[in-house]
Chains A and B, each alone.
Chain A
């Protein structure tokens, strides 16, 4: 059974009660929220996700708590907890929905050193994955959201998970974080995609979440081999340009964008080495999303032939 098959009231009851248990690719999550107002949008963001029964192993038991006492009325706050521990300071309550996503990402980066975790978006086409590692502001999430709306399978927009045993990528297929101008860009580019109401004045600016499509969510349990690494950079008016990147440079770029490379030590070094052996590295500059997608489609087709 999927989240989308529940009535709005059922979602809200689960969320404010025992929790909404969903499979999100490599991890099972139980989401609770005392801020019931996030239920309708959360339900739409996770509409294609499979519900788990009560007996399932849950990786992350997360909860958004609502403020009590005076704070209930005066500038109410939301507090994220994972299994009774709150790893960070509260945020204004209107940020409760993005906070759930940030919190889940925090859980993954804190508790997943059995994987190499990169700060990168990843998508796949015909069973081969494209990794987009990038610092904030490079247009990574926009490109990721655009590709995910044009036939590419979304693995993850923020955290790329690499299996240390075989080097394959695990999917998350969770909502995509869009910021500032990207929100409007994606709205126009893919009017059919569901975007949550933008939340203003977060530390990242204005943010909205985009729901992953059904195909990406349905395939989220299947790992994929990495094939391309492209370091994206959006520049106004730039021509679409894909420039091969030497292996050594690709290695350093990936290491720089890894969340736990320093924790994994030798294992991390070996995993990144294998990754740059398997995947071709590129620098990618663009300003037009349609051209960008056409280029990556061609890359994927050449591979298929």
Chain B
């Protein structure tokens, strides 16, 4: 399986040798991985924009512009949500993409996303939901099964959407479903969250927790849509925080403490394998991230862009295995069987859509 996107990602300078057809392929693979906007920044940082084929550059610029627009909208939502939660005396804790953008981390670059993710204490969840509804956030799904599924078994409320602005919101009370095999303590994450300088009332997870959440999310995910994008987030977070003294030792210790050593091992393994993320040798040894994994057969496939040019004949099987694995980790067997049977009999009706695409036109 060769993937042009990864080759160029690791060695942007090699773009000077690309012919038109390869540029074409690069744009398509990057778009499928939701990394087209970020690719623009990769070339920009290397001073290579002039070497990029003008047509390819236009596509990358377009995607970067779309991402920048989303960031602006997300920051506005964050300020509104801060005020909404302030009425309950709660700080706003942002997660994932929204957190990277608010904190101005390098993982912001070209990051496209579908929703705002926030974390609230489990015991305040009911109050928070009422307060959000009063402020125009409504549950996006009316499916009774989905409502029950989220409320009983998941780590988040069913997705909400603002009735005027249309923004999607995920309200988490922890980072893994309570039914999962791993049991990280959300109270510890909330206690360690850091207020952003100059943005009173807006917090993000502490660096180690942010990395662990990103890793946990990525390696519990059952849908393969954005995995490479998420791995790239991890890569950028690790490169950024890894430069701080004491980060790596703290990360390994925190992973043990939070019951998240497994996701961290996988994160370090695939980030260094695919994106050449620099991981200190002692951390590799301590986590065992250099050891081959039986999961390699799945992850080395599903992490590729979902494009026929970068997948092999086992890719479909790998994605199916990922789906089962994602659910297996999240629920005990009897629940899993029940859920999969339900989803097989009543499959979701909406097909997935590209993140950076505008709504369906009225032709």
Contacts and interface: CB of A to CB of B under 8 A. Distances in A.
B363 A204 contact: yes
Nearest to A83: B28
A168 interface: no
A109 B361 contact: yes
Contacts of A236: none
Interface residues of A, number: 36
Contacts of B63: 111, 113
Interface stretch (A69-77, A84-92, A147-155, A278-286): A84-92
A55 B55 contact: no
A109 B68 CA distance: 17
B220 to A, nearest CB: 25
B21 A114 contact: no
B69 interface: yes
Of the candidates B69, B306, B361, the one having the most CB atoms from chain A within 10 angstroms of its own CB is B361
Interface string B322-363: 000000000000000000000000000001011011101111
Interface in A51-94: 54-59, 61, 83-89, 91
Contacts of B61: 113-114
Nearest to B20: A57
B72 interface: yes
B62 A113 contact: yes
A105 B354 CA distance: 17
B65 interface: yes
A112 interface: yes
B56 interface: yes
B361 A88 contact: yes
Given A88-B360, A99-B363, A102-B363, A114 B24 contact: no
Nearest to B306: A84
B363 A55 contact: no
Contacts of A265: 68-69, 72
A98 B363 CA distance: 9
Given A54-B21, A83-B307, A87-B353, A111 B62 contact: yes
A105 B361 CA distance: 10
B254 interface: no
5 contacts: A83-B28, A83-B307, A91-B363, A105-B361, A263-B65
A157 B20 CA distance: 29
B357 A114 contact: no
Given A55-B20, A57-B53, A106 B351 contact: no
